[in-house]
Every structure is written in structure tokens, then in C-alpha cells.
Amino acid sequence: MRAVLALLLGLAACSSDSSGEIRTALVERFRPGQAEAEPAAAAPAPLTRAAIEATGQAMLRARLVNETGRSVFAAQTANRGYVTYQSQFGQFLTLQTTLVTASRGAGFDLLAVSATPQDPLVSPRPVAEWPNSVPRVYRFAGQGPLGREVPVICRYEIGDVVEIEIVERRYRGPEVREICEGSGVAFTNLLFADESTGFVWRSRQWLGPDQGRIDIEVLEPFG
């Protein structure tokens, strides 16, 4: 990949508007910190429950499944039930309750997701009351104002009850496999739903065929 990009960079048409940006961005992308010599930042302090509560904000912690680092996202806006969270690196996630409906800046944007009010990630309720299946439409960059639409049907497989910890808080509930298929794609989301409320505190959700899944922990829910 790096060799290909280096070759392309060598061949790239450039101009007084763009050449510096291209080089800087490429260096920054693949040799982080070496584009400009800057002192190494101090290691971040470990996240504590007290620190989360002190912010008074809804917060998430998220990690792309094929990467190692986790980022904390803080709620920035809420519009008609859609809450947008921002990381310190300028990446954004929009969630409708606990369903990821958009991502920005992570590589391949998930433009939007349409879900129904019956969707248990949108309207939490005990797992026993979840419908057998729900429809969704995922939207990605494509031709036209709506982009490329990928309708899927998702069904559920309820697993064992387990206990998890998210920054000093413990939750108990079943692991649920959300199996989605349609439009030539198939993927499985993993959900941890609270035993009594069905609220999904932790999940691995699909962001698209190119982006893969994201692992999300709800540190402090919105509202």
C-alpha cells in the first residue's frame, strides 16, 4: 500500500494550491508525527468514572475492529433523537439511541441508516420483547442525492447471559447476535443488552462493506 501511494505521489500532478498539502498529508498519514517534529505528547490518563461524570456529557468509547486504539467520543448535538458524538481527532458518530446511523472521518463514511421505531437498538426494551426481525437501509457514497442504498433484514439470536464492565460499572445481560442480510451483503452485529431494560451498552456494529465494524461502549447515555 505504501509503495503504491509513494508511486502515485511521485506521479501526482501538483500545483501551487496542492503540492505541499499532498506531501504533508501523506507523511502525516503514514509516518505520524514526522511531518513536523513535535514533542511527544504525554500518555493520556486512564479513563475513570469520576472523570466521565465530571464532564456532564453523554459519551462513547469506540474502536474500529481492525485497529487497536480506542477513542472517546463526546456528544455534541442532538436533533430529533439523533445524537452526534465527536472524538478529539475530529471523527464523528451519529447514533439513534444505540444504533449507529452515520460515521464521518473514519475512512469510508456511513452516510445514514433508516430504521423503524420497532428496532430494539432505537427503542430499548427487554430482549424477550424484541421482534423476530427488523428492516434497515444503510446508505453509502454513490450516484445521486441518496447515494447507494443497501436494504437489509436483521434477525436475532439470543445467547448466554454474561456480565461486562465499562469503566467501573458492571452490567448483566444476554449477548445477542444480530444477523443482517440483503442486497448482496451479509454481516453480523454483536450486541450486549441489559437484562432488564434491553439497552445495548456495548456493541460491534457494521459501518459498511469497506469500513467493517466498530466496537462501541456507551460510557454515559444521552438524556
Partner 1 sequence: MRLLENGFRKRRGKIVRRVLAVAAYAVAVGTGADAQTYNLFGGPGLIETPTAEAFPDGELGATFAFFDRTSRANVTFQVLPRVSATVRVSTQPEVAMGPRISDEGYDVQFQLLKEGRFTPALALGFRDLLGDGPFGGEYLVATKTVLPGVKLSAGIGWGNLGAAGGFGNVFGLNVRPGPTALGGELQEDTYFQGENAFFGGISWDTPVRGVTLKAEISSAEEIPGDGNDDIGVNFGLTFAPSDRFSVAAYLLDGETFAGTFSLSGNPFKPIGPPDLGTGPVPVLKRADDAPRSTAWVSPENVDKVLTGLGTVLEPDGIVIEAARLTGTTAELEIRNTRIQREPKAIGRVARILAVGLPPSVETFRITLVENGLAITTAVIQRSDLEAQVDKPLAGLENWQTTRLLNARAGLTGEDVWQGTRPPRFFWFFNPTLPINFLDADDGIDPDLQLRLGAGYRLARGLTVSGEISRFLVGFDQIEDDEVPPPTGSLPPVRSNLDAFLSGRDVELERLTADFVFKPRPDLYGRITAGVLERLYHGVSTEVLWAPINSPLSFGAEVNYAALRDFDSLFGTQDFDTVTAFGSVYWDTGYKGFELQLDVGEYLAGDFGGTLSLTRRFNNGWRARAFVTRTEASFADFGEGSFDKGFEVTIPLGWALPFESKSEARLDFLPNENDGGARLKIAGRLNERIRDLDRASLRDQWHAVWQ
Binding mask 30-69 toward partner 1 (x if CB under 8 A, else -) reads ----------------------------------------
Least separation, in Å, of the C-beta of 96 and partner 1?
Answer: 8
The residues, ordered by sequence, that sit 6+ positions from 99 with a Cβ below 8 Å of its Cβ are 113, 115, 119, 121, 122, 205
Least separation, in Å, of the C-beta of 107 and partner 1?
Answer: 3
Stretch that binds partner 1, among 20-28, 44-52, 151-159, 188-196 (CB under 8 A): 20-28
User: Which of 166/207 has CB closer to partner 1?
Assistant: 207
User: Which of 39/145 has CB closer to partner 1?
Assistant: 145
Task: Looking at residues 142 to 171 of the shown chain, list those that interact with partner 1 (rule: CB under 8 A).
Answer: 142-147
User: Quick check: 108 binds partner 1 (CB under 8 A)?
Assistant: yes
Instruction: Pick the closest to residue 148 from 108, 205, 96, 106 (CA basis).
Output: 108
Cα distance between residue 102 and residue 79, in whole Å: 13
Task: Looking at residues 109 to 128 of the shown chain, list those that interact with partner 1 (rule: CB under 8 A).
Answer: 109, 111-115
User: Quick check: 101 binds partner 1 (CB under 8 A)?
Assistant: yes
Instruction: Pick the closest to residue 218 from 99, 78, 80, 65 (CA basis).
Output: 99
Residue 127 is given by DSSP the state G
Contact 102, 86 (CB under 8 A): no
Q: Which of 59, 61, 94, 174 binds partner 1 (CB under 8 A)?
A: 94
User: Quick check: 26 binds partner 1 (CB under 8 A)?
Assistant: yes
Cell numbers describing residue 116: 423503524
SS3 19: helix
Q: What does each C-alpha distance from 195 to 43, 125, 175 come to in angstroms?
A: 36, 10, 10
User: Which of 25/161 has CB closer to partner 1?
Assistant: 25
The residues, ordered by sequence, that sit 6+ positions from 167 with a Cβ below 8 Å of its Cβ are 47, 48, 49, 52, 61, 217, 219
Instruction: Pick the closest to residue 51 from 222, 164, 168 (CA basis).
Output: 168
Least separation, in Å, of the C-beta of 59 and partner 1?
Answer: 15
- Name the residues that contact partner 1, by CB under 8 A: 4-5, 8-9, 11-19, 21-22, 25-26, 29, 76-80, 82, 84, 86, 89-92, 94, 101-102, 104-109, 111-115, 137, 139, 141-147, 210
